[in-house]
């Protein structure tokens, strides 16, 4: 089929919870979508739950059941996006444009069955293609999918970002725009560091690290998708028309000045578990982490050291998401019994602070500078991990914000681009 309609650019626009938090914001978003359409685009919209709806639903469930099953949690949480998608479509219709709202069972978004952190395995875009061909603005509930037994799943916190990028890939969209409550990606969370600077262009690999290390502005899974299929993302504000940040593939000859450290991130949803006095024999780590993997608990930093208490014994310390702490400890109990030795201590008063930048590949001394500036701030480092493009430290949670501010200053990230001499 040819004809003008098919040649109009296809834009996926994603709006986060704060952008649709109340009826006025919802109407504002509706007008932005309509403007985009009237500029000559075909629009697919992905929307998150209004404001704090997801958190509120989680709190509500805890009042009913201290340990609610993940399957029912998914059905409950997905309701937030079902509400906002229906309302946003209504807001667009109220302005006289054609729109239709959809939730997971209608969208053909298939996931695995790992409730509360499901992965998208396939998208059948037939229905959406039909809707946009018919001139409808398709308003899709983010964050949710359907598993092989037709049970509702959710994609993990912040998962609407992933819905948006995955739909952009499936529909071969020309652009994917992520509208949020800040003007773009900053050198640190602007709520924590007032001097943080907006980054015009950031590479997929840097954004992937930042997102995985706690900068919740984008969900990490969404960046994995965008990188894999090379879909540039434009992250911008839903409240103003300012240019935002572009998340793009790394350039061979960078157009921009390449900073060594691009940004600082903190993740306060971390917990540390230490298995102490483990027998020092082959297979112990395999048993410990095998059990956690079976329960879909992601383990992050791991440090093994000889026991302080006994010769021939080891301690293994590692971090998990604080939401997984309880389950992880429960899961480890039978493993320790099986090993006939060792005990477990844990703390969720920890946070991970990280510096990220592809420029670190070719520079020595970056980690040392980080440790020095944390030391100067009186922050004790409990664990360290590094990769080519990041350094992360586990510290006390109460020091996280201060540490981020110190690191941001130490690496001069708030500094304006240098002005040419004589200017
Ligand atoms: P949405 O509801 O639109 O998905 P989120 O609350 O998930 O928005 O993400 C936006 C928030 O991410 C911002 O309000 C900001 O506080 C936080 N944030 C953390 N790190 C960064 C960063 N480096 N740049 C921009 N925002 C950041
Ligand atoms: N509403 C979900 C959450 O709060 C998904 C999202 O906002 O992207 O995590
Ligand atoms: Mg988000």
Ligand 3 centre distance from Cα of residue 158 (Å): 4
Hey, which residues does 387 pair with through a beta bridge? 390
Query: Is the distance from CB of 322 to CB of 271 less than 8 angstroms?
Result: yes
Range scoring the smallest mean pLDDT among 112-126, 216-230, 239-253, 374-388: 239-253
Q: Is the CB of 180 under 6 A from ligand 1?
A: yes
The pLDDT of residue 419 is above 50: no
Range scoring the smallest mean pLDDT among 4-8, 168-172, 365-369, 386-390: 4-8
Whose alpha carbon is nearest atom 8 of ligand 2? 158
Ligand 2 centre distance from Cα of residue 387 (Å): 29
In the structure, what pLDDT confidence band is assigned to residue 420 with cuts at 50, 70 and 90? very low
| Residue 2 or 319, more confident | 319
What's the pTM? 0.92
Q: What is the pLDDT of residue 286?
A: 93
Query: Is the distance from CB of 20 to CB of 85 less than 8 angstroms?
Result: no
Nearest-atom number in ligand 1 for the CA of 191 is 16
- 174 contact partners, CB below 8 Å, separation of at least 6: 9, 10, 11
Ligand 2 centre distance from Cα of residue 48 (Å): 6
Show the ligand 2 pocket: residues with CB < 6 angstroms: 16-17, 48-49, 54, 80, 142-143, 157-161
Helix residue ranges per DSSP H, 124-203: 126-133, 160-170
In the structure, what pLDDT confidence band is assigned to residue 18 with cuts at 50, 70 and 90? very high
- The secondary structure element, H or E, covering residue 395 is strand 390-396
Ligand 2 centre distance from Cα of residue 85 (Å): 13
Average pLDDT over residues 181-210: 97
Nearest-atom number in ligand 2 for the CA of 16 is 7
Buried b (16+ CB within 10 A) or exposed e, 213-226: bbbebbbbbbbbbb
The pLDDT of residue 76 is above 80: yes
Query: Is the distance from CB of 188 to CB of 263 less than 8 angstroms?
Result: yes
In the structure, what pLDDT confidence band is assigned to residue 153 with cuts at 50, 70 and 90? very high
On the 0-12 / 13-18 / 19+ scale of CB atoms within 10 A, 412 is exposed
Ligand 3 centre distance from Cα of residue 256 (Å): 27
Average pLDDT over residues 44-58: 98
d(C-alpha 248, C-alpha 359), whole Å: 16
Q: What is the pLDDT of residue 416?
A: 59
Average pLDDT over residues 70-80: 98
Residues in the chain: 423
What is the chain's alpha carbon radius of gyration, rounded to the nearest angstrom? 23
d(C-alpha 15, C-alpha 297), whole Å: 29
Average pLDDT over residues 144-157: 98
In the structure, what pLDDT confidence band is assigned to residue 139 with cuts at 50, 70 and 90? very high
Q: What is the pLDDT of residue 254?
A: 65
d(C-alpha 249, C-alpha 228), whole Å: 10
Query: Is the distance from CB of 208 to CB of 390 less than 8 angstroms?
Result: no
Range scoring the smallest mean pLDDT among 100-104, 175-179, 263-267, 412-416: 412-416
- 282 contact partners, CB below 8 Å, separation of at least 6: none
Q: What is the pLDDT of residue 421?
A: 42
d(C-alpha 227, C-alpha 212), whole Å: 14
Range scoring the smallest mean pLDDT among 6-10, 120-124, 144-148, 416-420: 416-420
Nearest-atom number in ligand 1 for the CA of 184 is 25
Ligand 1 centre distance from Cα of residue 83 (Å): 22
* High-pLDDT (> 90) share of the chain, %: 87
Q: Which of 15, 16, 17, 166 to mutate to test the pocket of ligand 2 (most atoms within 8 A of CB)?
A: 17
| Residue 280 or 70, more confident | 70
The pLDDT of residue 312 is above 60: yes
Q: Is the CB of 182 under 6 A from ligand 1?
A: yes
Whose alpha carbon is nearest atom 5 of ligand 2? 158
Q: What are the tens digits of pLDDT across the range 325-374?
A: 999 999 999 999 888 888 999 999 999 999 999 999 888 899 999 999 99
Mean pLDDT of the chain: 93
Q: What are the tens digits of pLDDT across the range 223-265?
A: 999 999 999 999 999 999 999 999 999 987 666 667 899 999 9
């Amino acid at each position: 089929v040819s004809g003008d309609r098919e040649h109009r650019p296809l834009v996926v626009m994603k709006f986060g919870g704060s952008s649709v938090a109340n009826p006025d914001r919802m109407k504002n978003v509706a007008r932005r979508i309509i403007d985009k359409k009237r500029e000559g685009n075909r629009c697919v919209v992905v929307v998150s739950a209004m404001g704090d709806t997801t958190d509120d639903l989680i709190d509500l469930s805890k009042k009913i059941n201290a340990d609610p099953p993940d399957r029912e949690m998914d059905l409950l949480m997905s309701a937030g996006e079902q509400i906002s998608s229906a309302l946003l479509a209504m807001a667009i219709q109220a302005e006289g444009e054609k729109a239709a709202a959809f939730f997971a069972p209608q969208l053909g978004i298939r996931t695995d069955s790992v409730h509360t952190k499901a992965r998208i395995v396939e998208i059948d875009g037939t229905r959406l293609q039909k809707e946009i061909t018919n001139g409808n603005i398709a308003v899709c509930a983010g964050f949710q999918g359907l598993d092989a037994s037709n049970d509702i799943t959710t994609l993990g916190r912040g998962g609407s970002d992933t819905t948006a990028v995955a739909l952009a890939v499936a529909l071969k969209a020309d652009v994917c725009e992520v509208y949020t409550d800040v003007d773009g990606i900053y050198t640190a969370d602007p709520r924590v560091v007032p001097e943080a600077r907006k980054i015009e262009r950031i590479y997929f690999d840097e954004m992937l690290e930042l997102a995985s290390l706690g900068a919740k502005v984008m969900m990490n899974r969404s960046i994995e998708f965008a990188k894999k299929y090379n879909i540039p993302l434009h992250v911008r504000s839903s409240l103003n028309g300012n240019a935002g940040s572009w998340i793009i593939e790394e350039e061979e000859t960078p157009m921009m000045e390449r900073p060594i450290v691009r940004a600082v991130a903190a993740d306060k949803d971390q917990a540390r578990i230490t298995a102490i006095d483990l027998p020092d024999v082959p297979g112990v780590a395999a048993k410990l982490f095998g059990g956690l993997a079976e329960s879909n608990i992601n383990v992050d930093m791991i440090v093994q050291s000889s026991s302080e208490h006994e010769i021939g014994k080891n301690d293994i310390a590692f971090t998990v998401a604080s939401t997984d702490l309880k389950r992880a400890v429960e899961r480890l109990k039978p493993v320790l019994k099986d090993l006939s030795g060792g005990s477990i201590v844990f703390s969720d008063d920890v946070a991970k602070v990280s510096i990220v930048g592809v420029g670190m590949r070719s520079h020595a001394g970056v980690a040392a500078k980080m440790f020095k500036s944390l030391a100067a701030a009186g922050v004790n480092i409990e664990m360290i991990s590094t990769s080519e493009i990041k350094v992360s430290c586990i510290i006390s949670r109460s020091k996280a914000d201060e540490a981020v501010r110190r690191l941001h200053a130490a690496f001069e990230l708030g500094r304006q681009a240098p002005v040419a001499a004589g200017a």
